[in-house]
Chain A
Amino acid sequence: MSNPQLIMYDEEFKQINAVIEKLLREANAKVIFLVDKNGQLITGCGETERFDTTSLASLTAGNIAATGGLAKLIGEKEFSILFHEGEKDNLHISIVAGRVILVVLFDTRSSLGLVRLRVKKASEELSAIFGRLLQKSEEKEKSGDSEFPFAEITDDDIDNLFS
C-alpha cells in the first residue's frame, strides 16, 4: 500500500506541537493545522476553537488531492504549495514529508513572504520528526511490540458504539 498506517506517539506529538507553536509565533499566524493526506486532523494550534477543524482538515485534504490530480495531468509530481488569498484571511497550504499537510492561516499582521520563509524551516523540522515516527512504528511492528488498544476488542464493544 502506498501509505503505511500513521501512528502517533506521545513523544513525537509533543515535538510536533512545539514546532508548530514556534511557527505560529514566528510567522505571526492566527491558526496552524497539521492534516493527514487522508483528511484526518493530526494537531493544531492558535485560535483553533474558532474553526470547524474537522471540516477544515477534510476539505484541505480534498483540495490537496484535487490539485495533486491536476499536477499529474500536466506532468508534475505534485504542487507542494497552495496559497489562497481572501479579503482578510489567507491560507498557506504545503505538503510536508510527502504525506502530511501543513495549513497556516494568517491575516494582514503577517505576509506571504514571511509565512513562506518560516514554513520552509518548520517543514524541515517536521519532516525529521515524521521520519522518526515512521521508523518507530515500523520497528514496533517488526518486533511485534504493538500495544495496540483494539487487540482485545469484542462484538459487544462495537455494538455499544451504536447503542
Chain B
Amino acid sequence: MSFINYASREINCKIVYYGPGLCGKTTNLQFVYQKTAPEAKGKMISLATETERTLFFDFLPLALGEIRGFKTRFHLYTVPGQVFYDASRKLILKGVDGVVFVADSQEERMDANIESVENLRINLAEQGYDLDKIPYVVQYNKRDLPNVVSVEELRRELNPTNVPDFEACATTGEGVFETLKAIAKQILFDLKKGK
C-alpha cells in the first residue's frame, strides 16, 4: 500500500514488474534509469546472479515531482521471472500498488506468458489482492523480433479484461515510458478515489 506522509509531504507508491523469465523486466527498469534525470532517481539495485539473471529483485526509486505540494515517489521493483523463484516473487508483491505485466511476444514464450499471468493472479490472491481490482497494465515486449505473435492474439490470451496495454521494445526504450506512465496514472487515480 502507498505510504502517505503528511509530515514530510510525501507519497510513496510501489510498482512491480511481473512476467516470465527473460521477458525484459530488468531491461525496462534499466531504460527508465538511463533516461531519467539524475536528480529524479536514486541508485538502481539489482540482486542478480553472476549471469545477470534476477535472483531476488531489482529496485529503482523515482521521484517524479510534486502534485499539489506532495512529493510523489514511485518505487519500481521487478520479480525474478524463473519459475523456481516463486517464493521470492510472492514476497515482492507485498504492499504493491500497481502491477505491470511484461509479456515476451515471441511465439515460443507464449506458454511461459500464460503460466506467468496465472502465477501472478494466484500470488496476488495470497496477499489479499484481486488482479481485476488493482492498477494493472500489460506490455507486449520484444516487438522488434521476427517471430512474434500478433498483438490481437497476445491480447486475447493475456489481457482478457482489456486493461491498458502497450507494444514495446525495452532494449530501445519504445513503449517503456508509456507503460510506466499508464500504471502511475492508474495508481494516482486509485489514490484519488481513496481506495
Contact = CB atoms under 8 A, between A and B. Distances in A.
Contacts of A59: 45, 59
Main SS at interface, chain B: mixed
A69 B67 contact: no
Given A6-B1, A55-B43, A62-B56, A161 B184 contact: yes
A10 B8 CA distance: 8
B33 interface: no
A149 B184 contact: no
Contacts of A66: 56, 88, 91
B30 interface: no
A88 interface: no
For chain A, which range describes its interface: under 10, 10 to 19, 20 to 34, or 35 or more residues? 35 or more
Contacts of A5: 1-4
B64 A161 contact: yes
A38 B68 contact: no
A55 B69 contact: no
A151 B192 contact: yes
A55 B45 CA distance: 7
A19 to B, nearest CB: 14
Interface in B2-53: 2-8, 11-12, 14, 42-43, 45, 47
Contact of A55 (B6, B42, B87): B42
A150 B191 contact: yes
B57 interface: yes
Interface stretch (A74-82, A103-111, A152-160): A152-160
B68 A149 contact: yes
Given A1-B128, A55-B43, A146-B194, A153 B67 contact: yes
Top 3 A-B residue pairs of the complex, sorted by shortest distance between their CB atoms: A38-B95, A13-B7, A65-B91
Interface of B: 1-8, 11-12, 14, 42-43, 45, 47, 56-57, 59, 61, 64-65, 67-70, 72, 75, 87-88, 90-92, 94-95, 127-129, 177, 180-181, 184-185, 188-189, 191-192, 194
